[in-house]
Amino acid sequence: MDKKLRKLAMAFAMVIMIGFAGNALASKEVRFVYVPWTCVTVKTEVAQFFLNELGYDVSSMLLSVPIAYQALASDQADIFLGNWMPTMQSIAEPHFKSGKVESFSVIMENAKYTLAVPTYAYEGGLRDFSDIAKYGEKLEYKIYGIEEGNDGNEVIELMINENMFNLGNFELIPSSETAMLTQVQNFARNQQWIVFLGWSPHWMNKIIDMSYLTGSDETTFGGNDGTATVYINIRTGFDQEQPNVAAFLNNFLVPIAMVNEAMNMLHEDSAMEPLEAGLAWLRANPEIYRGWMDGVTTADGQPALPVIEAAMAK
């Protein structure tokens, strides 16, 4: 082989080696997307912690719900841990049907997501969706939601726009999670009536004396009075590209007790971080994270549990 051909062969070999190296690096990349809800933040940061300890290159992006799905569908993200169903169906279903996003596994069962009121309003007669319009004046014809683009807000807007439950005269008041709950607490101090978007797990259920309304149906917050199942969604093909991460996600069933306690800790201690709160609960309940490691390895193929036990002991 002459010098020119040898140089070409060496250059080609270098390109191949760089390509393999790039693929190896890419195989350790895991990209989460999450939304500004404390429960989703806790779960996402805990999952990131474990995957980082297992040797993966983990990143995350904070987005609104619709943009989170666009990120998954356009290969800008791999995993979303906050698909609350059935209320998120109108946003998620088009991406499932496109074949670009998959509902992968359950992450949390028996959650709650629907309209709520302070218990004094519930005891005063506002107990069902059909009761809201009766007390329009006391409610100032307002229903309080969370951030713009949220699926719960979309359900409320649908109810208003379609005059469901005679709510055509009502107005949705969008806000952040924190601002909405501050408003609810302010109203409660003065025994003012308010209808707001409530969910569990969340510290609101401990701090606010509140009751969930009955009467939702399949077109609103679901036929089981807002009882929800939360799913992990992934970019289509991610589980084949990352079978070990997929094994971890398949095991990653998060107890409501963990999220409730973590959120209570965060509410009581403003200096505490979501990851710190989640890990504190897991250290007291190690059987949960040990179950998450069943059949999982490090990114380099070593047993996962010894690595995680060492990390949790720090």
Of 273, 275, 287, give the one whose Cα is nearest residue 53.
275
The rounded distance, in Å, linking the Cα atoms of 209 and 201 is 15
Domains in the chain, please, with CATH?
28-110+228-312 (3.40.190.10), 112-227 (3.40.190.100)
Beta bridge partners of residue 83, listed in sequence order: 231
pTM of the model: 0.79
User: Is the CB of residue 202 less than 8 Å from the CB of residue 258?
Assistant: no
Instruction: Take residue 19 and report the two structure tokens written for it.
Output: 């390509």
| Rounded (10°) CA dihedral 68, 220, 177, 148 | 50
The rounded distance, in Å, linking the Cα atoms of 180 and 189 is 15
What is the torsional sign of CA 10, 26, 238, 76?
negative
Give the pLDDT of the chain (314 residues) as one tens digit per residue: 444 434 433 443 343 333 333 333 447 999 999 998 899 999 999 999 999 999 999 999 999 999 999 999 999 999 999 999 998 999 999 999 999 999 999 999 999 999 999 999 999 999 999 999 999 999 999 999 998 888 899 999 999 999 999 999 999 999 999 999 999 999 999 999 999 999 999 989 988 999 999 999 989 998 889 999 999 999 999 999 999 999 999 999 999 999 999 999 998 998 999 999 999 999 999 999 999 999 999 999 999 999 999 999 98
Given this model, what pLDDT does residue 27 score?
Answer: 72
Q: What is the largest CA-CA distance in the chain?
A: 94
Q: Dump the DSSP string for the chain.
A: --HHHHHHHHHHHHHHHHHHHHHHHHTTEEEEEE-S-HHHHHHHHHHHHHHHHTT-EEEEEE--HHHHHHHHHTTS-SEEEEEEETTTHHHHHHHHHHTSEEEEEEEEEEEEEEEEEEHHHHHTT--BGGGGGGGTTTTTTEEE--STT-HHHHHHHHHHHTTGGG-TT-EEE---HHHHHHHHHHHHHTT---EEEEEESSTHHHHS-EEE-B---TTTT-TTTTEEEEEEEEETTHHHH-HHHHHHHHH-PPPHHHHHHHHHHHHH-TT--HHHHHHHHHHH-HHHHHHHTTT-B-TTSSBHHHHHHHHHT-
Q: How many CB atoms lie within 10 A of CB 192?
A: 16
| Gyration radius (Cα) of the chain, Å | 23
Given this model, what pLDDT does residue 206 score?
Answer: 86
Given this model, what pLDDT does residue 152 score?
Answer: 93
Given this model, what pLDDT does residue 223 score?
Answer: 84
User: Is the CB of residue 151 less than 8 Å from the CB of residue 228?
Assistant: no
- In angstroms, what CA-CA distances link 33 with 62, 65, 158, 182, 231? 6, 9, 26, 26, 14
User: Is the CB of residue 132 less than 8 Å from the CB of residue 246?
Assistant: no
The rounded distance, in Å, linking the Cα atoms of 271 and 262 is 13
Instruction: Take residue 175 and report the two structure tokens written for it.
Output: 């806000």
